[in-house]
Structure 1
Amino acid sequence: MENQANSFSNVTGRYAKSIFQLANEKKIMNEVEKNFLQIHFLFNDSKDFVKFVTNPTIQKNTRLKIIENLSSKLNFNNCFTNFLKLINEKGRFFYLERIVKDFFSILSISKGEISAELIVANEISEDRKNDIKKELSLIYKKDMKLNFIIDPSLISGSILKVGSKMIDSSAKSKFNRILNNI
């Protein structure tokens, strides 16, 4: 992981790496991972939560009270709650979504997994998802943590993102290339 750690040298990466290391040292990784998952789901499921995180007009002490209420309701680990309070106090709370992504990337690296994203135009079956995951695991010779995203604007085809590499075989991309050459 130390080799990959340099890729987390930006602000969000440093915060994610810090909470990761602290959770590891205190042997509370499962709890902290669960709390990060809860935050991840909030970003996906609640527009109000996204507004709360990104709204710069919310005062730190108001945000602190909301963090405490949220932590109590969702039963967050004390270490995780203190982490949220810290990024609030440092004026970095708007980075929370990126910190969550970086945390899961660091966690995947520590587990020897490769994180990837497959963007498809239509829903695909669980069997097909498992087949794709197995094929990619064989290609990369590591466990694959694959996130599937549906984007109907692709028309057909897919976009695969593995690390900094992207393979775009979508009809949308091909159509745009044709239009640019006219």
Structure 2
Amino acid sequence: MKEFIDYILHFGNLNEQQIKFISQKGNELELKKEDYLVEAGKPLKQIGFLLQGVIRVCYYNNKGEDITCYFVDENHLIFGWQNYVDDLPMSVYLQAATNCRLITFSIQDWKEISNTIVGWDKISHKISEKNHIEKLERRSRLVSQDAKTKYLEFLSYFPNLANRIPLSQLASYLGITQSSLSRVRKDIR
């Protein structure tokens, strides 16, 4: 829980009583590789903070192909802000790309924290905004680049991820074939 509290304190201030209250609401959850935190079409039931591992955000296109949109690594909040606010079902899958350990909060507990702690919504919004900006910056740079540049950009943003996730998921995220990714990796070694 300490990692989560330290993370939250980057976005706002909390007193000891508030920290204790939040700490009582969190639960630890372990996911095995390929387990889902949430599936598309289902409501968001919990908000998680990733302590260990990698979660991938993915969907299936109209051809049934598994498309990786994004990766979430350690010390990030996994939070579908729009789904939470509007109580909408998820449009993507959140799947463990590796074994994961998270601190989770039920939606009910998250709302109770929000109703109890003045400024909690502002903290949550700041986190959501930061995550959204990071995601857009990372994805937008990959759009018009060649395979080698995409891979090198990926390594600059996620230096510890390339050897932890399946090549098929990384290739999907980069928008290249797995064989192209293998060639690029071989060329830069």
- Report the TM-score when normalising by structure 2: 0.26
- Between structure 1 and structure 2, the one with the greater Rg is 1
Higher helix share: 1
Structure ranking higher on relative contact order (CA contacts 8 Å, 6+ apart): 2
